[in-house]
Amino acid sequence: MGKPTGFLEYQRLSEAYAPVAERLKTYKEFVLRLTDEQAAVQGARCMDCGIPFCNNGCPVNNIIPDWNDLVFRGQWRQALDTLHSTNNFPEFTGRICPAPCEAACTLNINSDAVGIKSIEHAIIDKAWEEGWVQPRPSATKTGKKVAVVGSGPAGLATAQQLARAGHDVTVFEKSSRIGGLLRYGIPDFKMEKGLIDRRVAQMEAEGVSFRTSVLVGSETVPAGIVNDAKEFVSAEALKKEFDAVVLAAGSEVPRDLPVPGRELAGVHFALEFLIPQNKAVAGDGPNPISAEGKHVVVIGGGDTGSDCVGTSNRHGAVNVTQFELLPMPPEQENKSLTWPYWPVKLRTSSSHEEGCERDFAVATKEFIGDNGKVKALKAVRLEWKDGKMVEVPGSEFEVKADLVLFAMGFTNPLGSLLDAFGVTKDARGNAKATTDGAGCYATSAEKVFAAGDVRRGQSLVVWAIREGRQCAREVDQFLMGSTVLPR
């Protein structure tokens, strides 16, 4: 490394946030990027550790020590090339990835990990500002046509890689805009949508075609899934027109909570609240669900729950309570036991810091209504004994609630989509396909592949990009008999 003693000389510097009172007034991003000088110092903290566990901690296998060193040396353009060699969309991951690479950082064993995510963020934002990110169209065309169903990170990564291999790629999206949950599931204050728009423009210049408001495979979708489709395309028509089809539609079916009072007005799936809000920010009309002046309860302690907290506070909620089924994790992990793996520990997001009361080991038993509208919920405290959830006798309590949001994750992709293509499902209802060996990412249906959450279940943006890239390689191999795309 350029500064072998940097980890001894410099402390970790995390990205700063705009003040809470200021950022609650807007839906714009509020994370303050490191300056070039700050990023160089943080890059100097990367150790000459011999075995960079961060590479394997990162699902896309980013070559982290290399671009850390290049940033330290001021070689930003080379750092961008190294970053792009494994990751199509570092501006997405540099904002919303939870950074498992940092958990795997060797320095993290007994000190603060290298700020890998903040350096990645600095590299790609500087690259866009300098005009270094340009279209890379293929010099030759193969004449092969590929359809990609779904425009989230997996679908976009697949499409970009295949277009750069010379194939004619069309992306189908049932929403009115491209981006999947990047566009509609993640609030603008975490990732502004202009970031997606400029990548779409780059991909269009590379030859990718996008068709929005098109529903593929099945003409209906279940409750809880937003559908903007104005056009329907059958699975048979898609397979007839294209030489290969990639299903990258994500895991969209939300987990429900069928307790008494579920039917009351004011009880919603998280995305029924978050998607219209993102549309409102984009100028597509007001959000029909408002948290203004309400007592909000968010059920589910993950990232989606955090997004509901941040959005509710921006609406002007009276208060926000977040329930989690599991016990409160420790504030600090035992690194000697968990490193280099992703540890279970208490994580406080920027949204939590804006105002939220969190309660752990709580189960919701009933929603209480007044004139058909939710007004409170009954809950009970839990104990975990021998790995089983047990209610604590006499621990029942009520919480005032004018708006309840389910953020308990997603169970599986649309079964009707997989059925339409004749794709075999695994035990969890996902598309069944392997990730290694000959024919990986291929489903049981002829010339139909699957990548991302539709195959693996709900996961991280980095896993979606990884699977999209790897799937593109397998599709190229299938179409051409060989491939030069990286795995």
Residue span(s) of the chain under CATH 3.50.50.60 come to 145-253+411-480, 256-408
> Count of alpha carbons within 13 Å of 88, Cβ hemisphere only?
35
Segment 427-449 shows an average pLDDT of 97
Confirm if 183 and 193 have CB atoms less than 8 A apart.
yes
pLDDT tens track for 104-146: 999 999 999 999 999 999 999 999 999 999 999 999 999 999 9
Confirm if 278 and 323 have CB atoms less than 8 A apart.
no
Question: Residue 1 above 80 pLDDT?
Answer: no
**Residue 322 CB contacts under 8 Å (≥ 6 apart), including other chains:** 297, 298, 299, 300, 301, 305, 309, 352, 356, 357, 358, 359
Question: Residue 452 above 90 pLDDT?
Answer: yes
Average pLDDT, the chain: 96
**Nearest-angstrom CA–CA distance, 48 and 170:** 44
pLDDT tens track for 179-191: 999 999 999 999 9
pLDDT band at 386 (very low <50, low <70, confident <90, very high): confident
Question: Residue 474 above 80 pLDDT?
Answer: yes
pLDDT tens track for 297-314: 999 999 999 999 999 999
Residue span(s) of the chain under CATH 1.10.1060.10 come to 6-130
Segment 55-68 shows an average pLDDT of 96
Segment 232-259 shows an average pLDDT of 97
Of 268, 257, 244, 241, residue with least CA distance to 441: 244
- Structurally, at CATH architecture level, domain 256-408 sits in 3-Layer(bba) Sandwich (3.50)
- Structurally, at CATH architecture level, domain 6-130 sits in Orthogonal Bundle (1.10)
Task: Give residue 387's pLDDT.
Answer: 82
Tokens encoding 449: 């592949």
Task: Give residue 487's pLDDT.
Answer: 83
Confirm if 57 and 107 have CB atoms less than 8 A apart.
no
Confirm if 84 and 8 have CB atoms less than 8 A apart.
no
Task: Give residue 222's pLDDT.
Answer: 82
pLDDT band at 413 (very low <50, low <70, confident <90, very high): very high
Query: What CATH fold (topology level) applies to the domain 145-253+411-480?
Result: FAD/NAD(P)-binding domain (3.50.50)
Segment 191-205 shows an average pLDDT of 98
